[in-house]
A and B are shown apart, each in its own frame.
Chain A
Amino acid sequence: AQKVTQAQTEISVVEKEDVTLDCVYETRDTTYYLFWYKQPPSGELVFLIRRNSFDEQNEISGRYSWNFQKSTSSFNFTITASQVVDSAVYFCALSGPFGNEKLTFGTGTRLTIIP
């Protein structure tokens, strides 16, 4: 069985602060994929990043960075110099190896950036 835990239900930070969203996962698959999605108030889920289980390289994309640590089953997401437009619910998700399976989502972290 797969499980994703996002222990932080809500986070508020002042604009320009850095913030890290935590994600811990459980799976029995040896090959799996991890994702982060952003859900703004409009409701659409916006894909941010995919990481496969064999690639533990950290990734940076602009103000966003991701830290994947297989040893601790964690896939954390950091936003540096946060902006008001970053306010949203962020979901971490997990899938198996085949690409036509369900995404198992965490419960999400609601991030509020205070101007």
Chain B
Amino acid sequence: DAMVIQNPRYQVTQFGKPVTLSCSQTLNHNVMYWYQQKSSQAPKLLFHYYDKDFNNEADTPDNFQSRRPNTSFCFLDIRSPGLGDAAMYLCATNNPPEKGGSTEQFFGPGTRLTVL
């Protein structure tokens, strides 16, 4: 089945120790998104890639970076995790209407990050 895969599902890191979260998709979608969802809050977009074009949200801290080496994979790098970065990180994909798709985004299962 075509899907969005996130690894690992649970990640524990230490304060200040860099961590990388992974997302892959078999949907061949042009756009990949990273959302942060803190406990009992709504998901909040950090950034997205439209093909190779990177689009950062204005309020995303510099501590968060992303890489998209090819269509299928996208990575979220947290350079120096703080306690406030503990959250669920959700990857999503879609093809916009101009690419023959539709506007809904398809989400992976998420990676729950714990910072000790």
- Report which A residues bind B (CB closer than 8 A): 33, 35, 37, 42-47, 50, 52, 91, 95, 98-100, 102-103, 105-108
Contacts and interface: CB of A to CB of B under 8 A. Distances in A.
Contacts of B44: 105
A95 B88 contact: no
Interface string B50-67: 100000010000000000
A91 to B, nearest CB: 6
B109 A50 contact: no
25 contacts: A33-B104, A35-B103, A35-B104, A43-B88, A44-B107, A44-B110, A45-B43, A45-B92, A45-B107, A47-B104, A47-B106, A50-B102, A91-B43, A98-B97, A99-B95, A99-B96, A99-B101, A100-B31, A100-B48, A102-B33, A102-B45, A103-B43, A103-B105, A105-B43, A105-B44
B42 A108 contact: yes
Given A42-B109, A43-B109, A43-B110, A99 B103 contact: yes
B103 A102 contact: no
Interface of B: 30-31, 33, 41-45, 48, 50, 57, 88, 90, 92, 94-98, 101-110, 112
Nearest to A4: B42
Contact of A100 (B50, B104, B106, B109): B50
Contacts of A42: 109
B30 to A, nearest CB: 8
B96 A98 contact: yes
Contacts of A50: 102-104
Name the 10 nearest CB pairs between A and B, nearest first.
A99-B96, A105-B42, A102-B45, A45-B107, A99-B103, A44-B109, A100-B96, A43-B110, A33-B103, A50-B104
Given A43-B112, A47-B104, A106 B33 contact: no
A107 to B, nearest CB: 5
Given A43-B109, A43-B110, A44-B109, A100 B94 contact: yes
A99 B112 contact: no
A10 B51 CA distance: 39
Nearest to A6: B42
